[in-house]
Chain A
Amino acid sequence: MQVTLKILRYNPEKDLRPHWESYKLEAEPMDRVLDLLHKVKWEQDGTLAFRKSCGHGICGSDAMLINGRNRLACKTLVRDLGTDVIEVEPIRGLPVEKDLVVDMEPFFKAYRAVKPWLINDDPPPQRERLQSPEERARFDEGTKCILCAACTTSCPVFWVNGTYIGPAAVVQAHRFIFDSRDQGAHERFPVLGSTGGVWRCRTAYNCTEACPREIPVTQLIQEVKRAIMFGEF
């Protein structure tokens, strides 16, 4: 089938603002949007810039705004879009460096701010810090995050607020707050409870819809809110 791939291009050395460019190409229904981007780059315009690494939905490099929704280009089939006009934009709310490549630093800064590592000052036991299957299941959802930023950059509050740490950072905090082995809740509270923390979430659910790992993002954010409110910190 013939598809039209429209890409929001931006070259910081030439362009004042991003502009749309259209490419016509042959595609199979089972092609991924990532395949189409490669076809354009290899056969039509080698200057096209986008990020990809594993190409199998694990590394989280190729989150893009595809036909109005944040998705991974490597997990989105042409067939599933149900149209032969495909629009691809960079994810929103982060500075665009070139074409579909954005500066992820604000995203990772928020990620680091919640201290996404195990905090436990007790001397490690002889073998391991034991945990029951139930205790492990408590934070299972958050462990699936691949840090692709599809959730954070789908959030209307993140687009305009400028200080909100975003859904991904809260999911990462949740992963450790609800880990029975972790003792760092008090260290994470100043960030999560600050003006840029969980209370900026207004439950628009775009994050939950966008997550390519099907993490119930809003549910996790609400659990963190309740943990703060009911003094579980």
Chain B
Amino acid sequence: MYRGREGQWAFYLHRISGVAVLLFLMLHVLEMSSSMFGPEWFNALLAFERNPVFGLGLVLVAALVLYHALNGLRIILMDFTSWGVRYQRQLWYGVWVLYVLIGFPMFFTMLGYVFGGGE
């Protein structure tokens, strides 16, 4: 493994999270289109997805979307400002600070729904 620094890992994570979110989106479209076969099919599928495995998957997707979104803002700054590239490393650490601040309350709330049944 090439011993790149922050920028390399930011890029790899961005690519992996992007592909994972795309896969989720396709699954989601399939899931929604099951309603074409009528309410029985659709409701049965939704009931099946009550399984905590899917709940955990959803938390994972949220975690990946959040990274992709925040690092996407970093990339916009690097692409469109004259200073973004110079501070890319600091920006990446900023991404993780925001990730913890926004993500952790979100993940804990979601996990509460997955395992506690909500409310």
Q: A209-B4, A225-B79 are in contact. Are A219 and B86 (CB under 8 A)?
A: yes
Write out, one digit per residue, whether chain A residues 200-213 have a CB within 8 A of any chain B CB (1) or not (0).
Answer: 00111110110000
Minimal Cβ-Cβ distance residue in B for A202: B11
The chain A residue sitting closest to B1, CB to CB, is A68
Interface size class of B (residues with CB under 8 A): 20 to 34
* Closest beta carbon of chain B to A134's beta carbon, Å: 16
Question: Within the assembled complex, what's the spacing in Å between the Cα atoms of A209 and B15?
Answer: 20
Is B78 a contact of A204 with CB atoms below 8 Å?
A: no
Contact A206 B8 (CB under 8 A): yes
Question: Could you tell me how many residues of chain A have their Cβ less than 8 Å away from some Cβ of chain B?
Answer: 20
Report yes or no: A68 in contact with B85, Cβ–Cβ below 8 A: no
Per the bound structure, the CA–CA distance linking A92 and B1 in Å amounts to 11
For B89, give the chain A residue with the smallest CB separation: A205
A206 and B88 contacting across the interface, CB-CB below 8 Å? no
| Contacts A219-B86, A222-B85 given; does A203 touch B11 at CB 8 Å | yes
A residues in contact with B7, CB < 8 Å? 203-206, 208-209, 218
Query: How far is it, in angstroms, between the C-alpha of A92 and the C-alpha of B3 when the chains are bound?
Result: 13
**How long is the Cα–Cα vector from A226 to B76 in the complex, in angstroms?**
12
B86, A204: Cβ atoms closer than 8 Å: no
For the complex, give the distance between the alpha carbons of A64 and B12 in Å. 23
Q: Describe B's contact surface by its main secondary structure.
A: helix
**Total residue contacts A-B, CB cutoff 8 A:** 62
Shortest B72–chain A CB gap in Å is 12
Q: Contacts of A209 on B, CB cut-off 8 Å? A: 4-5, 7
Known A219-B85, A222-B78, A222-B85: A205·B2 in contact at CB below 8 Å: no
CA–CA, A156 to B12, complex, Å? Answer: 9
Docked-complex contact B5 and A68, CB < 8 angstroms: no
Whether a CB of chain B sits under 8 angstroms from the CB of A67 is yes
Given A156-B11, A205-B88, check contact A222 B79 (CB 8 Å). yes
Contact check, B5 vs A203: say whether CB atoms are below 8 A apart: no
With a cutoff of 8 Å between Cβ atoms, the chain B residues found around residue A67 in the complex are 3
Kindly report which residue of chain A lies nearest to residue B9, judged by CB atoms.
A204
Interface residues of A in 78-134 (CB under 8 A from B): 92
Q: Which residues of A contact B78 (CB under 8 A)?
A: 203, 222
Known: A69-B4, A205-B7, A205-B88. 12 other contacts (CB 8 A): A154-B2, A156-B12, A203-B85, A204-B4, A204-B8, A204-B10, A205-B11, A206-B5, A206-B8, A222-B79, A222-B85, A226-B80
The 6 closest A-B pairs by CB, nearest first: A205-B7, A68-B3, A204-B11, A206-B4, A219-B85, A204-B8
Binding site for B on A (CB under 8 A): 65, 67-69, 92, 154, 156, 202-206, 208-209, 216, 218-219, 222, 225-226
